[in-house]
């Protein structure tokens, strides 16, 4: 069996999981509010929000990886930047015994999918603490982002189209 439940005390523990996130952390967090307090006081309309999401993985050796989920949000109103929020949210990921062809999808689809709710909450709270309504982000289709070749595995330094990453 691939996944078995093993009783340990009163808790069931999963064994042979294909991926294990052992640590989660904020790697970098930035919030700029250049129009404050003027925009907060005088704004009559909500700003236009642009969002960029990306993920990458970096090998640490012995089937361990650092997966970074990058969330960048910027708001503009009348051609002025209202706020810029950037979050790099990391996870220390251990990949179980899976075929090599499954490692990259685990790192660039499953790990970001598991990290996203935590990163979304941090970004939402940061924007709210900057004086704006919380930034409410919908769930992200990481399978689609992976299929589009947007995310990068730093092990080979190439995106999914085989082009060198920036």
Predicted structure pTM score: 0.78
Q: Tens digits of per-residue pLDDT, 90-110?
A: 999 999 999 999 999 999 999
The pLDDT of residue 164 is 42
Q: Where are the domains of the chain?
A: 17-159
Spell out a b/e string for 90-108, using b for 16 or more CB atoms within 10 Å of the CB, else e.
Answer: bbbbebbebeeeebbebbb
Helix (H) or strand (E) holding 80: strand 80-95
Q: Tens digits of per-residue pLDDT, 9-56?
A: 545 454 567 999 999 999 999 999 998 888 777 777 788 999 999 999
Q: Tens digits of per-residue pLDDT, 104-152?
A: 999 999 999 999 999 999 999 999 999 888 899 999 999 998 988 866 6
At the topology level of CATH, where does 17-159 sit?
Bacterial Protein-export protein SecB (3.10.420)
């Amino acid at each position: 069996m691939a996944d078995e439940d093993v009783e340990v005390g009163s808790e069931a523990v999963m064994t042979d999981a294909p991926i294990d996130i052992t640590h989660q952390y904020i790697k970098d967090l930035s919030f700029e509010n250049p129009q404050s307090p003027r925009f907060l006081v005088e704004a009559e309309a909500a700003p236009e929000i642009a969002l960029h999401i990306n993920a990458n993985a970096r090998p640490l050796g012995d089937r361990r990886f650092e997966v970074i989920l990058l969330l960048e949000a910027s708001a503009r109103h009348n051609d002025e930047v209202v706020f810029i929020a950037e979050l790099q949210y990391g996870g220390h990921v251990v990949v179980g015994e899976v075929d090599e062809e499954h490692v990259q999808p685990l790192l660039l689809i499953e790990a970001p999918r598991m990290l996203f709710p935590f990163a979304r909450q941090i970004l939402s709270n940061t924007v709210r603490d900057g004086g704006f309504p919380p930034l409410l982000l919908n769930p992200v289709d990481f399978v689609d982002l992976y299929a589009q070749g947007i995310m990068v595995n730093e092990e080979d330094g190439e995106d999914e189209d085989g082009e060198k990453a920036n």
